[in-house]
Amino acid sequence: MGILEKMRLDGKVSFVTGGARGIGKSIATALAEAGSHVVIVDMDLAESEKTAVEIAQLGVETLAIKTDVTDEADVNQMIETILAKFGKIDVAFCNAGICINAPADEMTYAQFKKVIDVNLNGVFLTSQAAARVMLKQGRGSIINTASMSGHIVNVPQPQCAYNASKAGVIMLTKSMAVEFAKTGVRVNSISPGYIGTDLVLESPNLKPLIEQWNALSPIGRMGRPDELQAIAVYLAGDASDFTTGSDFVVDGAFTCF
């Protein structure tokens, strides 16, 4: 099989949490373009259904499911719904996340817990649920969205909870990868830098921060959601069979100094 064939995902079934918009939608689109059927998992069902309809135009089957990734029962029901329709899960892109910027001495415990619950516990629940299916299949790829914030302390915004959650995702990924290494189930993470999603670019509160981020960046700009697509498709397909336990930093060299 040639490299181009190995990059194809024809017949595979993928789910993407936080898939209704932003990075999740971009990755879901890329997986579909490579041939995978795609399940859009998000709290916003209306937007998920809209995204699913758009992606279906690429000639694959799609499904939209409303799921709270912090609720174990909800996650398990999501998995059952996918299996009922497709009978398998080949790729899990665990991407749902939030950020609350607050100084560490002022952040409430409820705020801290909410970020950890979505960003870390949610990734654990969705990747664990996917792994249980994949282990029975003897094959599968789990891709977790971490962040360059799991490697550095971002400035000028105070975001200790976010940074801690993403560092946790990286180590969770590595730990699961080692445990599953001989099973055919691979676990990797992608650590994006600052990505200019519509929500970010359209936020008036973030405009002064974006200017500072760009000034600090060696490449001088934010990334685009589509610039994360290639690494996701690589990790989802057979071309990455020997790749597990890795964290791929895609940040325009931001963390290099």
162 counts as catalytic: yes
> What are the DSSP calls for 66-110, one per residue?
E--TT-HHHHHHHHHHHHHHHS---EEEE-------B-TTT--HH
Candidate list 25, 127, 149, 162, residue with the active-site label: 162
189 counts as catalytic: no
> In 3-state terms, what secondary structure has residue 62?
strand
> In 3-state terms, what secondary structure has residue 165?
helix
Strands (E), the chain: 13-17, 37-42, 62-66, 91-94, 140-145, 185-192, 247-250
- Could you give the CA distance from residue 81 to residue 27 in angstroms, rounded to a whole number? 21
Q: Is the peptide bond before 103 cis (omega within 30 degrees of 0)?
A: no
147 counts as catalytic: yes
Candidate list 48, 127, 166, 189, residue with the active-site label: 166
Candidate list 14, 26, 127, 147, residue with the active-site label: 147
- Could you give the CA distance from residue 26 to residue 36 in angstroms, rounded to a whole number? 14
Phi, psi of 43 (to 5 degrees): -75, -25
Measured between its terminal Cα atoms, the distance across the chain in Å is 40
Catalytic residues: 147, 162, 166
